[in-house]
Amino acid sequence: MCRSVGAPMPAVAPPETLPAAQVRSATVAVARRIFADPTNFDAAGFLTIGFTRAQLTLGDICSNAGSTYITSEGLAALGLQASDRYWTAPAMPWTMRRPYSGADFREDYAVDY
């Protein structure tokens, strides 16, 4: 079900339809944005609660920059070989950059294994 409108979701596209370079480009952009702000870290060097900076009012049980689960997901690609297409494919715009630049794009859907 689509959470925003309660409508059934269309069939999920296989992960191969989302290019590795697109995933890497988006992931790197997010990491650069998050880690660029020094308020993301407290005096002891730990991540603080917030979205793109320290924003304690956004605290949630499991979904903020200080969440070890969310943070560790961003590091998963570090386990890939240096020769993996994730690292070697040329950078490309990710889905949400395309509509704002006027380019055609395919919708991406969550993977459901």
In this prediction, residue 63 has a pLDDT band, given cuts at 50, 70 and 90, of low
Whether 82 is in a domain gets the answer yes
More confident residue, 15 or 96: 96
Q: What is the mean pLDDT of the chain?
A: 76
Say if 11 falls within a structural domain. no
Residue 69 within any structural domain of the chain? yes
The verdict on residue 17 lying in a domain is no
C-alpha dihedral over 23, 24, 27, 29, to 10 degrees?
A: -120
pLDDT > 90? residue 4: no
pLDDT in tens, 86-97: 999 999 988 888
With a CB cutoff of 8 Å and minimum separation 6, the contacts of 93 are 22, 25, 101, 103
pTM attached to this predicted model: 0.64
89 domain-assigned = yes
Q: Are 9 and 34 in contact (CB under 8 A)?
A: no
Residue 59 lies in a domain: yes
Q: CA 93 to CA 22: how far, in whole Å?
A: 6
Q: Considering the domain boundaries, does residue 45 fall inside one? A: yes
Number of domains in the chain: 1
Angstrom distance (rounded) from CA 49 to CA 41: 9
* Average pLDDT of the segment spanning 68-95: 85
Q: Is residue 83 part of a domain?
A: yes
